[in-house]
A and B are shown apart, each in its own frame.
Chain A
Amino acid sequence: EDQVTQSPEALRLQEGESSSLNCSYTVSGLRGLFWYRQDPGKGPEFLFTLYSAGEEKEKERLKATLTKKESFLHITAPKPEDSATYLCAVQVGNTNAGKSTFGDGTTLTVKP
């Protein structure tokens, strides 16, 4: 059974304090790993897709990386507006994109 585990469950940072969120996975035949951002009471918003080990993608203060067993979402010098829940999801083989397995998320709080 495909499994996706995110850690930590919650992370509190001071503004400017860099850190990383982890998404570890156990799947057969990874097709893609996705990161989404979700604000309270809203739907998730797509951030990145990673396809193969060694791949990296960046967007503003966020950088996502991928290995054969896990992905990291690095947040550099975060600001309060980066506070949100970050979800990762894994798509396997030829399955439909919407059938991706989602982790439970990491809730990030950035204090000014």
Chain B
Amino acid sequence: DGGITQSPKYLFRKEGQNVTLSCEQNLNHDAMYWYRQDPGQGLRLIYYSQIVNDFQKGDIAEGYSVSREKKESFPLTVTSAQKNPTAFYLCASSRDRGSEKLFFGSGTQLSVL
């Protein structure tokens, strides 16, 4: 079945540590996105990529980094510079830049030890 796979489901970060969240899609979608969701709040855009080897900052990019070396993969690194990383992280994709329908992964819950 086509879809988006995020891993791990749960992740714990120690102070000063960088951690990487995985996102893989087999929908052959061009565009991919990373969002952060805090309890009781909507989704806030961290980074997005419309094509391989290209990505743009979203509204809350500070303390995060991404890469897009393959169409299928869009990993997110939460760096030690992100002082409040505890949140639910969602990866999404869409067919192309203009497509309105977003497909989401099942999310990664990141917590700080």
Residues in A lying within 8 Å of B, measured CB to CB: 4, 9, 31-32, 34, 36, 41-46, 49, 87, 89, 91, 96-105
Contacts and interface: CB of A to CB of B under 8 A. Distances in A.
B63 interface: no
Interface of B: 4, 6, 31, 33, 40-45, 48, 50, 58, 90, 92, 94, 97-107, 109
Contact of B99 (A4, A9, A97, A105): A97
B41 A104 contact: yes
Contact of B94 (A9, A97, A102): A97
Contacts of A32: 100
A46 B97 contact: no
Nearest to A102: B42
A84 to B, nearest CB: 14
A38 to B, nearest CB: 8
Given A45-B104, A49-B100, A96-B31, A87 B90 contact: no
Contacts of B44: 102
Contacts of A97: 31, 94, 97-102
